[in-house]
């Protein structure tokens, strides 16, 4: 059984938690796109982990984790992540494999990312400043460096020299300081030596695993509306966050995939700029007041709003979502009334899809239906039938509006706060 798990909203849907739960039944967990812009939170008992590049499956012993070719890897960040996990008692040796064709994030990518944001001023994207856009830019422009280069000292030295020269010229245009070739080289080569044992041909590794009937879980990063093609461009990330990205980012063909699981919150959040039709200050204040919805990577307060079924229905269409995992139901436990957006109004027109022009999407007024709140804590509920009837009605309604089968409901960050339907 090969399962693609994607975020059905704007990221941070709780993918890390659901991956951790589903990993119990999987043999391999594979990241296929994005980089350390991702922040996937997993609780194992009282211990909190935030994974950025390493698949969340690493927290379950004996599972094999793969960073696929479609990921952009910051080697310095990855070494830190491996070290942090090892300090907390999780060993990566022999369980983590990194594609030799995955591209590198280099210091000039991070610097250019930050400079571009500054120049954009009020039109900024609100990126994580992890260099993701410029790294994918170099990949597409065919001037990127890859893991296969990093672990080959001569090749790396030669290619890096050329790239530092060009990027220092770009940094000059921004009025930023040039980078020292030697400093970057030495730092990255040290990381390269550390990562070498993990670097391999992951395409062959995964196909051999499939030949032995292994079960693979593809861990999406970001969310549908941050997709470079299908998101709210230009307020997006630079990879395909939708289900197709799992195929191109791993080398596993679409017809070898068995199921697509879409993860969504019982409300909506977004971090960074760009349209968010159901944004609502009261919901944001309530959730922030509960200490929730602060970014796992940058610590920024997430923007919050009501559940948007126009968006999640669109996500079902683009990703081919078969099953839904709805998280953070407990966030709505205290409300008298819970609203759900079922269409957008633009002037006199009513639409039920996401318009491609962000200027138009920004002007869309949500059309809401209301549900009575259940006003009962749900965080200790273990079974579907023990959920308050009004909470069940709400979950059923949002899955029906989304157009996919409800398979998992989550009422807290812990493994045991999960219900299967
Ligand atoms: P990801 O990027 O999709 O993995 O999501 P993040 O980890 O960035 O953000 C999701 C947040 O919600 C994390 O703090 C999780 O621990 C938390 N979380 C996930 N599911 C639930 C849930 O059902 N209830 C509560 N209270 N928190 C949850
Ligand atoms: P996970 O995997 C939420 C957002 C940034 C910004 C835009 C572009 O944890 O769900 P980038 O640094 O990628 O160029 O930023 O995308 N973004 C995320 N938002 N969750 C994420 O990952 C995100 N990764 C990037 O905030 O708006
Ligand atoms: Mg996150």
Q: What is the CATH number of the domain that holds 120?
A: 1.10.300.10
Do 107 and 88 have their domain in common? no
User: Best of 379, 413, 419 to mutate for ligand 1, by most ligand atoms within 8 A of CB?
Assistant: 413
User: Which of 23, 49, 19, 51 lies closest to 35 in space, CA to CA?
Assistant: 51
Is the separation of the CB atoms in 23 and 63 below 8 Å? yes
Same domain membership, residue 255 and residue 237? yes
Indicate if ligand 1 lies below 6 Å from the C-beta of 220: no
280 & 408 share domain: yes
Domain boundary among 261, 285, 304: 261
Query: Tens place of pLDDT for every residue, the chain, 421 residues?
Result: 999 999 999 999 999 999 999 999 999 999 999 999 999 999 999 999 999 999 999 999 999 999 999 999 999 999 999 999 999 999 999 999 999 999 999 999 999 999 999 999 999 999 999 999 999 999 999 999 999 999 999 999 999 999 999 999 999 999 999 999 999 999 999 999 999 999 999 999 999 999 999 999 999 999 999 999 999 999 999 999 999 999 999 999 999 999 999 999 999 999 999 999 999 999 999 999 999 999 888 889 999 999 999 999 999 999 999 999 999 999 999 999 999 999 999 999 999 999 999 999 999 999 999 999 999 999 999 999 999 999 999 999 999 999 999 999 999 999 999 999 9
| 117 and 153 belong to one structural domain | yes
Residues 181-225 have pLDDT tens digits of 999 999 999 999 999 999 999 999 999 999 999 999 999 999 999
Q: Is the CB of 130 inside a 6 Å radius of any atom of ligand 2?
A: yes
Of 145, 166, 195, which marks where a domain is finished?
195
Whether residue 222 has its Cβ less than 6 Å from ligand 2:
yes
Cβ(35) to ligand 1 under 6 A?
no
Distance 10 CA to ligand 2 centre (A): 8
Tally of domains in the chain: 3
Domain boundary among 138, 160, 195: 195
- State which H helix or E strand residue 53 sits in: none
Residue 346 confidence (pLDDT): 95
Domain span at residue 331 reads 264-420
Q: Are residues 172 and 210 in the same domain?
A: no
Name 218's Cβ contacts closer than 8 Å, sequence gap at least 6: 2, 3, 4, 5, 30, 32, 246, 250, 252, 257
CA–CA separation, 177 vs 108, rounded Å? Answer: 10
Helix, strand, coil shares of the chain as percentages rounded to 5?
A: 40, 20, 40
CB of 213 within 8 A of CB of 141? Answer: no
**Whether 135 and 16 share a structural domain:** no
- Whether residue 135 contacts residue 109, with contact meaning beta carbons closer than 8 Å, is answered with yes
Residues 333 and 311 in one domain: yes
Q: Taking Cα atoms as reference points, which of 233, 232, 151 lies closest to residue 195?
A: 151
Which helix (H) or strand (E) is 77 found in, with range?
helix 75-87
Is 12 a known active-site residue?
yes
Select which of 27, 40, 74, 330 is catalytic.
Answer: 40
Using alpha carbons only, what angle is made at residue 401 by residues 395 and 404, rounded to the nearest 5 degrees?
A: 80
| Domain match, 368 and 272 both | yes
Pocket flag, ligand 1, residue 265 (CB < 6 Å): no
Grouping H, G, I as helix, E, B as strand and the rest as coil, residue 65 is: strand
Specify whether 52 is located in the same domain as 96: yes
Task: State which H helix or E strand residue 284 sits in.
Answer: helix 281-289
Residues near ligand 3 ion, CB 5 Å cutoff: 12, 39, 296
Cα 105 from Cα 107, distance rounded (Å)? 7
297 C-alpha vs ligand 3 centroid, how far in Å?
7
**SS3 for 211?**
helix
Judge whether 403 and 316 are in contact, CB under 8 Å: yes
CATH number of the domain where residue 38 is located = 3.40.440.10
Residue nearest atom 26 of ligand 1, based on CA coordinates: 412
Are 221 and 361 in the same domain? no
CATH number for the domain spanning 322: value is 3.90.170.10
Q: Do 62 and 137 fall within a single domain?
A: no
Q: Are residues 204 and 67 in the same domain?
A: yes
């Amino acid at each position: 059984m090969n399962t693609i798990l994607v975020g059905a909203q704007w990221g941070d849907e709780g993918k890390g938690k659901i991956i951790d739960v589903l990993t119990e039944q999987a043999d391999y967990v594979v990241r296929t796109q994005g980089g350390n812009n991702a922040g996937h939170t997993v609780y194992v008992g009282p211990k909190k982990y935030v994974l950025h590049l390493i698949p969340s499956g690493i927290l379950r012993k004996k599972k094999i984790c793969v960073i696929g070719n479609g990921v952009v890897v910051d080697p310095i960040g990855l070494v830190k992540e491996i070290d942090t996990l090892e300090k907390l008692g999780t060993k990566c040796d022999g369980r983590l494999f990194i594609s030799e064709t995955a591209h590198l994030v280099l210091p000039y990518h991070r610097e250019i990312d930050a400079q571009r944001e500054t120049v954009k001023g009020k039109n900024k994207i609100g990126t994580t400043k992890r260099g993701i856009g410029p790294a994918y830019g170099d990949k597409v422009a065919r001037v990127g460096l890859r893991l296969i280069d990093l672990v080959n000292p001569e090749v790396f030295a030669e290619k890096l020299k050329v790239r530092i020269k060009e990027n220092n010229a770009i940094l000059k245009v921004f009025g930023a300081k040039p980078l020292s070739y030697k400093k970057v080289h030495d730092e990255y080569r040290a990381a390269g030596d550390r990562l070498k044992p993990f670097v391999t041909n992951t395409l062959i590794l995964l196909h051999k695993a499939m030949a032995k009937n292994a079960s693979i879980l593809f861990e999406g990063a970001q969310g549908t509306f941050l997709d470079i093609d299908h998101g709210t461009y230009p307020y997006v990330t630079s990879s395909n966050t939708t289900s197709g990205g799992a195929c191109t980012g791993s080398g596993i063909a679409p017809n070898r995939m068995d199921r697509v699981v879409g993860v969504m919150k019982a409300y909506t959040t977004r971090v960074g700029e760009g349209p968010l039709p159901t944004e609502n200050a009261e919901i944001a204040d309530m959730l922030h007041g509960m200490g929730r919805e602060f970014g796992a990577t940058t610590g920024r307060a997430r923007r919050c709003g009501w559940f948007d079924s126009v968006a999640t229905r669109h996500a079902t269409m683009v990703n081919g979502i078969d099953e839904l995992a709805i998280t953070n139901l407990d966030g709505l436990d205290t409300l008298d009334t819970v609203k759900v957006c079922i269409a957008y109004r633009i002037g006199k027109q009513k639409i039920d899809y996401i318009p491609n022009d962000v200027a138009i999407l920004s002007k869309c007024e949500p059309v809401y239906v209301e549900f009575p709140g259940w006003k009962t804590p749900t965080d200790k509920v273990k079974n579907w039938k023990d959920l308050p009837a009004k909470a069940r009605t709400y979950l059923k309604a949002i899955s029906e509006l989304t157009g996919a089968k409800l398979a998992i409901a989550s009422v807290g960050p812990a493994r045991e706060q999960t219900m299967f339907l």
